[in-house]
Amino acid sequence: MYQVPSQYYLRLHHPRPRFKREIEEVLIYIASEITAIGRLPKQEFKRALNSAIRRYPGNLGSKQKTIDNWRTEIDALFGFIVEDGDFSVPSNRAVELATNQDLVKFFKLFCYHFQYPGGFVKPNMNLEFLQYGVNFKPVHYILKMLSCAEESEGQRAGINKAEATHCIFNDLRVTRDNRPVQDTWSLIMQNRRTNVEYDWDGDTTRYAGDILDYAVQANLLVKRPNGYYYINHVEDLAIQRFLNAEPDDHFDYYSRLPDISNVTLEDVKALDMEWVRYFNTERDESFFDTDILALATDTEEQYQELKSLITNLDEIIEEGLESTGSIGSVGESLIINHERVRISDEGRPDLKHLIKLIPAAYSVGYDINSVEVDEKKRLIEVKTTASSKPLDFRRFHLTPNEWAAADTFGSRYYVYRLMVTKGSLRLRLIPDPVAQYKAGNLTATPRNGMDIIFDPDKCGYEVELLR
DNA sequence: GCTACCCGTGCC
DNA sequence: GGCACGGGTAGC
C-alpha cells in the first residue's frame, strides 16, 4: 500500500458537497435565491435563505440542523455570500450564476480560484494549513501535470482519484514545495509499473475526487468509464488560462499575515473574510466564456458544422449581440438558425429574412422577431442553460419587461428553453407563459419580474433543434 | 449555549 | 461504495 512519507503527509480538506446528486439544480437554486434576497442585515439574510432552502423540493421535512448546514456549507465552499459590516451581500459568482445559468463557466471560475489555504475550512484547520506552509492550486497543478505528460509521451495522459489523493493532494512536497509536475508524473508512472496499491477508502479519496469532479463540471477534464480523468482538448483555450496564470493570481495569506512564525486564529479569521472577496474577483465577462458548441458536440466535425451555422449568421445579427461568445448570444444564434430552417420547412423560405435578433438595447422584452407561415409574428425569448451533466431544469426567470411583453402579446409570445449539456442540445418551446400561468401549468413568483417553474407534463413541448 | 464546518453512520 | 442527514465538536 502506497504511503506518503510521514514527514510529508498532510490531508487536505474542504467541505463535502451535500448535494452532489443534484449539484446543478441546487447551485442554480441557491444562487438565484441569494441573488433575489439581495443585501440584508446578517440575521434577516440568514432567515430568508433558510426559508428558501426549506422550500427546495424534498427539504420540507428536514431537521433545522440540516437546513442550517446547507446554508453554511454551500456558502463556505462556493463563496456565495460576502460579509459587508452588519450586512450580507450576494457575491459576484452567485449573481453571475443566477443571471447567466452558465454552470460550466461557474465551475471554471471556481476551479480557477480554488486553493489551499482557503476560507472554506474552519479557521483552526486553515491555521494548520498555514503552519505547514501549504500553498496549492489543485486544478492548475493537475492540468499542468497532465499536459506535460501528454507532451512528453505523445499520447493522452489520465489520472484517477487515488493517484490524485496520494501523489498530489496529501503530499506536502506538492502542496507546500510545489514539486515539479514531471516528478509527480514520474512517481505516478513508477507506481503503475510496480503495481503499487492505494488506499481507495471513500473518505480518503473523496476530497481529491471532488476537485476532479468539479473540473469535469467545468468541462476542463473528462472522466472515462475506467475512472481516469483526462484533459478535454476542446477547452484548450480555457486550459491555457490555467497554465499561463500569473503566479500572484492567488490569495496570498502569507504576505498578509502580520507574523508568519506566530499565526493566531484571529489573524486567520480576519483573512478568511478577505478570501471570499478574492474568490469573487471581478473577471472580464469573456474570461471563461463557455463554448456551448464545444460542450454540445462530441467530435470536431459536429463542432465545425454547428460553428459554421452560426458564423454564417454573424454578419446579419452581429450588431445585435452583446458579446459574441457568451452562452446567451450563441443560444440566440442557434435559435435564429432554427427558426429560419423551420419556416423554410413549413413552406415559406421567402419569410426567412424577417427572422431577426432584436438588439438588447431596445429592451422590448424578447430576443427574436420571428414569423409563422401565415405571416403573423412570433416573438421569442431565449433562455439558455449550460451544464456538463444532463439537466432537466424547470426554472427560468423573466424580467419585468419580458413578463409584460408576454402578457401583451399572449399566444404570439414564446419562451425557447435551450438546455446545453455534454453531447446534446435540447429545446423546449413554451408558448404564452402568462396564459399557462393562469391555467395553472406553471408557477410564477413575482420577484423583479417572475421566477417561473414549469410542469413539463403540462407546459410546452420539446422539439429537435433544427440545423 | 450558539454557531458552523466536521465527519460518523446508514441508506440506496 | 458513493453520498447526504444530522449529530459532533471546536471556538467563542
Quickly give A124 CA vs C10 C1' distance in Å: 8
Domain check: are A415 and A388 in the same one?
yes
A367: confidence class by pLDDT, cuts 50, 70, 90: very high
Name the nucleotide with the smallest C1'–CA separation from A76.
Answer: B5
Summarize pLDDT for A211-228 with one digit per residue, the tens.
999 999 999 999 999 999
* Average pLDDT estimate for A410-438: 94
Residue A90 lies in domain: 19-100
- Measured in degrees and rounded to the nearest 5, phi and psi for residue A440 equal 80, 15
Whether residue A224 is found in the same domain as residue A256: yes
Same domain, A310 and A275: no
Closest residue to C7 (CA to C1') is A65
Has residue A308 been placed in a domain?
Answer: yes
Q: In this structure, what C-alpha cell is assigned to residue A180?
A: 515539479
Q: State which H helix or E strand residue A64 sits in.
A: helix A64-78
Q: How high is the pLDDT of residue A407?
A: 97
Q: Which nucleotide is nearest to A68 (CA to C1')?
A: B4
Q: Which nucleotide is nearest to A66 (CA to C1')?
A: C6
| Spacing of A274 CA from B2 C1' in Å | 24
> Do residues A310 and A292 make contact, with C-beta atoms less than 8 angstroms apart?
no
Residue A19's φ and ψ, nearest 5 degrees, are -150, 35
Average pLDDT over residues A138-151: 97
Q: CA–C1' distance A122–C8 (Å)?
A: 15
Cα-based angle A384, A388, A389 (whole degrees, multiple of 5): 100
Mean pLDDT for chain A?
A: 91
DSSP state at residue A246:
-
Q: What is the pLDDT of residues A95-136, one digit of tens each?
A: 999 988 999 999 999 999 999 999 999 999 999 999 999 999
Contact between residue A378 and residue A95 where contact means Cβ atoms under 8 Å apart = no
Residues with CB under 7 A from strand B: A 13-16, 18, 46, 68-69, 72-73, 75-76, 120-122, 125, 203
> Which residues, 6 or more positions from A451, have their beta carbon under 8 angstroms from its beta carbon?
A32, A36, A395, A397, A444, A445
Q: Is residue A229, in this structure, part of any structural domain at all? A: yes
- Residue at shortest CA–C1' distance from C11: A124
Query: Do residues A373 and A253 both lie within one domain?
Result: no
Same domain, A318 and A434: yes
Confidence of residue A350 (pLDDT cuts 50, 70, 90): very high
The set of residues, in sequence order, having a beta carbon less than 8 Å from that of A339 and lying 6+ positions away, is A355, A368, A370, A378, A380
Asked if residue A252 and residue A127 are part of one domain, the reply reads yes
Distance in angstroms, CA of A24 to C1' of C12? Answer: 35
Tens digit of each residue's pLDDT (9 = 90 or more) over A263-318 = 888 889 989 989 999 999 999 878 888 888 888 888 888 888 888 888 766 555 55
Chain B: positions less than 7 Å from a protein CB are 4-9
Give pLDDT, residue A424: 87
Strands A450-454 and A461-463: unpaired
Positive or negative CA dihedral for A402, A405, A407, A411? negative
How far is A243 from A181, CA to CA, in rounded Å? Answer: 12
Which nucleotide, over all strands, has the C1' atom closest to the CA of A71? B4
Alpha-carbon gap, residue A389 to A127, rounded angstroms: 36
Q: Distance in angstroms, CA of A58 to C1' of C7?
A: 20
| CATH number, position A177 | 1.10.10.2090
CA distances A219 to A16, A184, A426, Å, are 21, 23, 18
The arithmetic mean of pLDDT across residues A368-397, rounded, is 91
Query: First CA to last CA across chain A, in angstroms?
Result: 54
- Residue type at A199 in one-letter notation: D
* Cis ω before A431 (30° cut-off from 0): no
Residues A193 and A84 in one domain: no
Share of chain A above pLDDT 70, in %: 97
At CA A306, angle to CA A303 and CA A308, rounded to 5? 105
Q: Who has greater pLDDT, A53 or A292?
A: A53
Minimum-distance nucleotide, CA of A205 to C1': C2
Confidence at residue A322, expressed as pLDDT on a 0 to 100 scale: 52
> For the stretch A306-332, what's the b/e string if a residue is b when 16 or more beta carbons lie within 10 angstroms of its beta carbon?
bbebbeebeeebeebbeeeebbbbbbb
Q: How many domains does chain A have?
A: 3
CA closest to C1' of B8 belongs to: A203
- The whole-number Å distance from A127's CA to C11's C1' is 13
Instruction: Verify that A457 and A323 share a domain, yes or no.
Output: yes
Query: How far: A65 CA to C7 C1' (Å)?
Result: 9
Beta-carbon contacts of residue A294 (< 8 Å; ≥ 6 apart): A219, A234, A235, A303
Distance measured from the CA of protein residue A58 to the C1' of nucleotide C11, in angstroms? 32
Is the domain of A251 the same as that of A395? no
The answer to the question of residue A5 being in a domain is no
Rounded CA-CA distance A270/A443 in Å is 43
Q: Percentage of residues in chain A with pLDDT exceeding 90? A: 73
Distance separating alpha carbons of residues A116 and A133, to the nearest angstrom:
10
* Nearest nucleic acid nucleotide to A121, CA to C1' distance: B5
Hey, how many other C-beta atoms are within 10 angstroms of the C-beta on A415? 25
pLDDT of residue A319: 54
Give the domain-ending residue among A249, A265, A289: A289
Using the C1' atom of nucleotide C6, identify the protein residue whose alpha carbon is closest: A66
Residue A369 (CA) to nucleotide C8 (C1'), in angstroms, measures: 58
- For residue A413, the domain's CATH number is 3.40.1350
**CA(A162)–C1'(C1) in Å?**
14
Point out the nucleotide closest to A272 (alpha carbon to C1′).
B5
Separation of CA A62 and C1' B3 in angstroms? 19
* A7 in a structural domain: no
Q: How much is the pLDDT for A294?
A: 85
**Model-wide pTM > 0.75:** yes
Sheet containing A377-386, strands listed edge to edge, beginning at the edge strand earlier in sequence: A356-357, A368-371, A377-386, A413-421, A424-431, A461-463
CB of A423 closer than 8 Å to CB of A296: yes
Residues A106 and A62 in one domain: no
Q: Is A28 a domain residue?
A: yes
- List, edge to edge, every strand of the sheet that includes A221-223: A158-159, A229-231, A221-223
- In angstroms, the CA of A68 and the C1' of B2 are apart by 12
Contacts of A50 (CB under 8 A, 6+ apart): A67, A68, A71
Q: Do A140 and A208 reside in the same domain of the chain?
A: yes
Q: Is the Cα torsion angle A300, A302, A306, A311 positive or negative in sign?
A: positive
User: What does the pLDDT read at residue A263?
Assistant: 85
How would residue A422 be classed by pLDDT, with cut points 50, 70 and 90? confident
Q: How far is the CA of A280 from the C1' of B11 (A)?
A: 36
Strand C neighbors by CB, 7 A: A 16-22, 58-59, 62-63, 65-66, 69-70, 123-124, 200, 202-203, 205-206, 209, 265-266, 269
Mean pLDDT, range A190-206, rounded to an integer: 93
Strands A377-386 and A413-421 turn out to be parallel
Q: Which of A83, A100, A117 is the last residue of a domain?
A: A100
Report if residue A6 sits inside a domain.
no
Are A156 and A256 in a shared domain? Answer: yes
Look at residue A323 and tell me whether its pLDDT is greater than 90. Answer: no
Final residue of a structural domain among A100, A130, A145: A100
Which nucleotides of strand C come closer than 7 angstroms to any CB of the protein? Answer: 1-8, 10-12
**Residue with smallest Cα–C1' gap to B5:** A122
